[in-house]
Amino acid sequence: MSQSPEARSFVAAAVAWSRTAEERHAIRLIRSPFSGVAHEVAAAYAVVGQRGGTLLDSIARTRLAIGGEQRDALFAFAAKLEELRAAGEGGASEEALHATTARLFDLAAGDAPSNSRTSGVAPPALAEPVAPEAGSGVRTRHAHFSASALNTYAECARKWYYRYLCAAVEDKSSPAAVYGTAFHAALESLHAEIPHPSDAAPEDLRRRLEGYVNAAFERYRNGFGTAVEYELQRRRAQRTALRYADWLAGEARRAPFTVVGCELSARLDLEGYDFIGYIDRLDRDDRTGNVTVIDYKTGAIAASASEYRDKVRQFKDFQLPFYYWARTAAGDRVTKLALVPLKNAQLDVRPIALEVVPVASQNGARSSAATGTISIAELERARARMVEICRELSSGDATSFGVTEDPGACTYCVYTAACANRPAPAEEKFGR
């Protein structure tokens, strides 16, 4: 059967749905003209489905008041998805799933979308397209910049546009985000009470952090969707906290230090652009006075120091360079930048640390080591790029904001429903 790229893409989504029952495939299917569901009904159900529950659940509960032929088409679509899912669960082969999709959605008759066939509504007459409006430049409305805004821009300019210019969608807090907030709060309490970890016994650090984790999670309890979610995340934090306490005790034994502050406000004027942020933790070595900037990470981070350094060199991450320059401007001798992973309760805490040196080592450029070096010249280049980006975003010359080329950046993006030009997921590229 010869099929258009759109039909092949639809079949690919149907096969993916059969195999995984992932919601994103169901949404993609209903929004296709091949679904047999009227466009506006499909769009409305896609939004309702994404807000809670599943698409099929929303249809079964008739969460939107839709009647007549459109309702019939909707139920017919849901039944087809159920049949496809059953075929996938039954271990149907790729060819069998293709054939089932073609039969259910009447693709064998050609590539014409089936809306009109199943709904009985005549296809609309196409009008001549209107001439596109001339673009006019936009500029950021914010008086301050942040490293995370620049990171977003570096990752995907379109995402930055949606988030910082349009405020297009409220980014609902996720359990993972609440976990991070609560864990940060617990660590802040611990270090406020014990600024010299070397003064405390390891068991004492463990016991106190355990108490602070409990208190912080209780404070943020309402941020978790359910009591089970709350309990699971609290226990995960408890296990991670023990590893953190052990790591902290080991570091304090090795080289005693003072925690100068947590959630420390960092401000920096970069050639007239005002930057603001908060440093998770700032340590000062008791013997040398050298300062380490620490960023807690409760999500994914670079796997090695060289990988993180590459991200800085490629202008994909400005967080630690910003903190470096902010604290250097405040008079500190910053000699180390570290990311502390707090995501995986099964692993020991193993920070990704970069020592700031006049000339960075070229050895082990692809090393998997957790420690490495970064030169002041590299941090200066990051600073220069930050100024350049601020200039671009403030100029008012930008008339469009391109999408990322990395499909991975779209995986958890809240703007996927609005973003028509996003790159195809890697595994489905053949279908477009």
Token readout for 266 is 């960092």
* Residue 46 interacting with ligand SF4 (CB under 6 A): no
* Residue 416 interacting with ligand SF4 (CB under 6 A): yes
DSSP assignments along 8-32, one per residue: HHHHHHHHHHHHH--HHHHHHHHHS
Of the listed pieces 197-205, 272-280, 376-384, 411-419, which binds ligand SF4 according to CB under 6 A? 411-419
Closest contact distance (angstroms) between CB of 77 and ligand SF4 is: 25
Options 38, 237, 413, 431; binder of ligand SF4; rule CB under 6 A = 413
As beta bridge partners, residue 278 has 265
Closest contact distance (angstroms) between CB of 294 and ligand SF4 is: 28
How far apart, in whole angstroms, are the C-alpha atoms of residue 138 and residue 396?
Answer: 5
- Closest CA relative to residue 10, chosen from 84, 74, 92: 84
Closest contact distance (angstroms) between CB of 31 and ligand SF4 is: 15
Options 156, 237, 305, 370; binder of ligand SF4; rule CB under 6 A = 156
Options 34, 374, 404, 431; binder of ligand SF4; rule CB under 6 A = 404
How far apart, in whole angstroms, are the C-alpha atoms of residue 99 and residue 6?
Answer: 16
Closest contact distance (angstroms) between CB of 424 and ligand SF4 is: 11
Using CB under 6 A as the binding rule, the residues of this chain from 311 to 350 that contact ligand SF4 are none
* Nearer to ligand SF4 (CB atom), residue 368 or residue 411: 411
For the chain, helix (H) and strand (E) counts, in that order, are 15, 7
Options 72, 409, 425, 428; binder of ligand SF4; rule CB under 6 A = 409
How far apart, in whole angstroms, are the C-alpha atoms of residue 332 and residue 289?
Answer: 9
φ/ψ of residue 391, rounded to 5: -65, -45
How far apart, in whole angstroms, are the C-alpha atoms of residue 16 and residue 427?
Answer: 10
Q: What share of the chain is helix, strand, coil (3-state, %, to 5)?
A: 50, 15, 35
Options 46, 107, 356, 419; binder of ligand SF4; rule CB under 6 A = 419
How far apart, in whole angstroms, are the C-alpha atoms of residue 274 and residue 387?
Answer: 10
Using CB under 6 A as the binding rule, the residues of this chain from 159 to 198 that contact ligand SF4 are 159, 162
Task: Look up tokens 């991975």; give the residue.
Answer: 408
* Residue 28 interacting with ligand SF4 (CB under 6 A): no
* Nearer to ligand SF4 (CB atom), residue 373 or residue 404: 404
Of the listed pieces 25-33, 137-145, 205-213, 410-418, which binds ligand SF4 according to CB under 6 A? 410-418
* Residue 422 interacting with ligand SF4 (CB under 6 A): yes
Binding mask 354-393 for ligand SF4 (x = CB under 6 A): ----------------------------------------
* Residue 415 interacting with ligand SF4 (CB under 6 A): yes
How far apart, in whole angstroms, are the C-alpha atoms of residue 152 and residue 146?
Answer: 10
Q: Which segments within 84-218 are labelled E, that is strand?
A: 144-145
DSSP assignments along 108-127, one per residue: TT-S--SHHHHH-PPPPPPP
* Nearer to ligand SF4 (CB atom), residue 190 or residue 413: 413
Q: What's the sign of the alpha-carbon dihedral 67, 70, 75, 81?
A: negative
Of the listed pieces 64-72, 94-102, 285-293, 402-410, which binds ligand SF4 according to CB under 6 A? 402-410
Angstrom CA distances, 364 to 381, 394, 425, stand at 21, 39, 32
Closest contact distance (angstroms) between CB of 152 and ligand SF4 is: 9
Options 19, 224, 403, 431; binder of ligand SF4; rule CB under 6 A = 403
Closest contact distance (angstroms) between CB of 165 and ligand SF4 is: 12
Token readout for 331 is 């008079």
Q: What angle do CA 266, 241, 149 make, to 5 degrees?
A: 30
Closest contact distance (angstroms) between CB of 402 and ligand SF4 is: 9
Of the listed pieces 11-19, 153-161, 246-254, 375-383, which binds ligand SF4 according to CB under 6 A? 153-161
Options 158, 208, 309, 311; binder of ligand SF4; rule CB under 6 A = 158
* Nearer to ligand SF4 (CB atom), residue 349 or residue 410: 410
As beta bridge partners, residue 138 has 398
DSSP assignments along 217-248, one per residue: HHHTGGGSSSHHHHHHHHHHHHHHHHHHHHHH
* Residue 14 interacting with ligand SF4 (CB under 6 A): no
Q: Which helix (H) or strand (E) holds 407?
A: none
How many residues belong to the site for ligand SF4 (CB under 6 A)?
A: 13
Residues near ligand SF4 (CB under 6 A)? 156, 158-159, 162, 403-404, 409-410, 413, 415-416, 419, 422
